[in-house]
Amino acid sequence: MCLFCKIVNKEIPSNIIAENDDFLAFHDINPKAPVHILAIPKLHVDSFNEVSSETMAAMTKFIQEVAKETGIDHTGYRVITNIGENGGQEVKHLHFHILGGAKLKWGHFSDADPKDFL
């Protein structure tokens, strides 16, 4: 069973913010911003590559609710999902990072020269 499935099953403790039958939101253990929440489907999906559009529709609503409950819906926030090796995905259970609480930087994404791919 993967790490986030264990969090869903409460085998590993987490700081839960919101939960319904299908989704769970909890604080990231290594926050990159004042608000750094992970939102996941309870049923295991490897990544955004495999998720159904039906799950994504419900996931969108859940993320919007979490943003509202946290109070970052008015100040703004960022939603990120990393996919696979190049995407930097470390936990192979679909998760959306919800980042906010401060003005976020637009990061340095790659050392590769984008012109090499044109």
Other C-beta atoms within 10 Å of 92: how many? 14
Using the rule CB under 5 A, is 12 a contact of Zn ion? no
90 CB contacts (<8 Å, ≥6 apart)? 82
Which of 29, 57, 112, 118 lies at the binding interface for ligand 5GP (CB under 6 A)? 29
Cβ neighbors of 32 (< 8 A, separation 6 or more) are 97, 99
Q: Does 84 bind ligand 5GP (CB under 6 A)?
A: no
Among 42, 44, 56, 82, binds ligand 5GP (CB under 6 A): 82
**Spatial CA neighbour of 90 closest among 29, 11, 21:** 29
Q: How long is the chain?
A: 118
Active site residue 95: yes
Stretch near ligand 5GP under the rule CB under 6 A, chosen from 21-29, 53-61, 64-72, 103-111: 21-29
| Contacts of Zn ion in 28-57 (CB under 5 A) | 44
Please identify which of the residues 44, 93, 95, 97 carries the catalytic annotation.
Answer: 95
C-alpha 20/C-alpha 27 separation (Å) is 16
| Contacting residue, 1, 88, 102, 104, with ligand 5GP by CB under 6 A | 88
Report in angstroms how near the CB of residue 29 gets to ligand 5GP at its nearest.
3
Which residues have a catalytic role annotated? 95
